[in-house]
Structure 1
Amino acid sequence: MALMAVDGKCYVYRVYAPPDALLGDLFWEAWHSHDEGPFPRAYDLFDTAAIRHIGNLHQEQDQL
């Protein structure tokens, strides 16, 4: 999950969630993590976030 902040930078967060999680829930989880950190305020607009599904990490590790 990538969030744009008021300083013009993009901050990236990994959000662990079940495959059927709603995109809005993923956004809010990342946004609250950013908001509680030391970084400049992130935009709280859902359409400014870049959300990318990277798969089931546990399943990938089990195959190694």
Structure 2
Amino acid sequence: MALPAVDGRQYVYRVDAPEDALLADLFWDAWHCHDESAHPRAWDLFDAAVIRRVS
């Protein structure tokens, strides 16, 4: 999942979840991981995230 941040960059996170996980749950998992790091604040808009399923 790629999250855009206030510095204009996108930060990518891998979120391990079951196939039936809600997209909002995936977003918040990645967002909280980003928020707890040293990176600039990520935009907290669900429609700003890029979510791709990896097999």
**Is TM > 0.5 for Structure 1 vs Structure 2?**
yes
Greater fraction helix: 1
Q: Please identify runs of 4+ aligned residues in structure 1 that moved more than 4 A.
A: none
CA root-mean-square deviation: 0.3
* Residue 53 of structure 1: aligned partner: 53
* Residue 39 of structure 1: aligned partner: 39
Structure 2: any 5+ residue segments left out of the alignment? none
Q: State the 1:11 CA deviation.
A: 0.1
* Larger CA Rg, structure 1 vs 2: 1
| One-letter amino acid of the counterpart of residue 34, structure 2 | H
- Equivalenced residue count is 55
Percent of paired sites with the same residue: 69
* Residue 3 of structure 1: aligned partner: 3
If asked which structure has higher relative contact order (CA below 8 Å, sep 6+), I would say 2
Structure 1: any 5+ residue segments left out of the alignment? 56-64
Give the SS at the match of 2:14.
Answer: coil
